[in-house]
Structures are given as structure tokens and as C-alpha cells.
Amino acid sequence: MNKIAIFMADGFEEIEGLTVVDIVRRAGIDIDMVSIGGRLEVKGSHGIVVKADKIIADINKDDYNMLVLPGGKVGTENLEACEELIDMIGNFYGAGKYIAAICAAPSIFAHRGFLMGRKATSHPSFESHLEEGGAIVTHAPVEIDSGIITGQGMGASIEFALAITGILAGREKADSIAEVIVYKSPAK
């Protein structure tokens, strides 16, 4: 069974995090909202308080097939400051398991050299981090390259969530969810 952990830190971009949770749950994929703080309540970048399912200290990393990081400048800074999370991401990367990040959060992967020579995207204000990390920055809404999924930002949240769904539940399931939510992929 596929299972995702999405990590929430104070300052996370609510649309980026909750869109992933909503869409993958519609697809029947198990996802835990995991707070990196010592409490379940996490305050998003626009003051919306979300109650996570678990705190990072209480999870077993072996329960998951994919780790997801929502963006938001402050949220990304808080995620990157969490050593336990950074170690987990490094272990997933090393094991060839899927890791995903959107908006500012792909910079976390770039800072660790995970994007070297890979296609990636992020919020335009964070592209320099990706370039410095050796990524091939595409400016696309979503990129999938060698087990790493990156998304450009809040406006790409649905496409990012559908890409995650496609990987874990199949393209047909992702397409059926897109139809239900009346989502039309932007012209490329």
C-alpha cells in the first residue's frame, strides 16, 4: 500500500499543502499530515491553523513511500531547520524513494545536491538556489526527474498533486480525479 508523509511547518503555504492532501485522499492514497513541531497545530503562512495527523517524533519513516514538502518561504526555512526531517529526506533520496517539493521547498533538495543534472522547477524567486545546486531549471509547472517531483508554486498545486497521484495510483486514476474536480491542465 502506498503511503505519503507531507510535512507541515509554521509558515507553510496552505494551498500547496492542503491541495496535495485533498487530491491524494480522493484517489484513495493514504497520507499523513506530519507536524515538524512538538504539537499537532500548525499555523500556515496566511494564518490558517491546521491540525496535523501526527508529529514527526511519532512516525516510522519505513511506513512511507513518498515524502512531500509544501512551500512558503518561512515554512521552507522551518522545514530545512528540522534535522530529523532532513535526515529522513536524505535517506529517501539515497534509497531511490520518491521525494517531492513545491514552491520554495525544492531549494532544500538543491542545497543537498539532489537536483544536480536533473530537471526541476520552483517558485521563480528560488530558481537561483536550484541553479546553484546544478539543476536544469525548466520553469514548467511540475517536473518529475529520477524520483524527484518539483512544483513551481501555488498556481501549480493541482498539477503537482495530480503528478503525485499519477505516480502512486496510476495516470488513469489521476486523470479521473482531474475530471471530477474539473481541472484542465494548462496548455504546454
**Rg for the chain, CA atoms, rounded:** 15
Q: CA dist 79 to 14, 37, 41, Å? A: 14, 10, 15
Give average pLDDT by consecutive 10-residue segment, the chain, 188 residues: 95 98 98 97 98 97 97 98 98 98 98 98 98 97 98 97 97 96 78
Q: What is the pLDDT of residue 1?
A: 76
CATH code assigned to 3-180: 3.40.50.880
Q: What is the pLDDT of residue 187?
A: 59
Distance CA 56, CA 42 (A): 12
Q: CA dist 144 to 5, 61, 91, Å? A: 18, 22, 19
Catalytic residue among 6, 103, 137, 164: 103
The pTM of the full predicted model, rounded to 2 decimals, is 0.97
Q: What is the pLDDT of residue 19?
A: 98
Let me know if 103 is a catalytic residue: yes
Q: What is the pLDDT of residue 15?
A: 98
Q: What is the pLDDT of residue 185?
A: 78
Q: Where are the domains of the chain?
A: 3-180
Distance CA 151, CA 36 (A): 21
Closest CA to 7 of 102, 57, 79, 110: 79
User: In the numeric block, which cell numbers belong to residue 170?
Assistant: 496510476
Kindly give, in sequence order, each residue whose CB lies less than 8 Å from that of residue 81, ignoring residues fewer than 6 positions away.
Answer: none
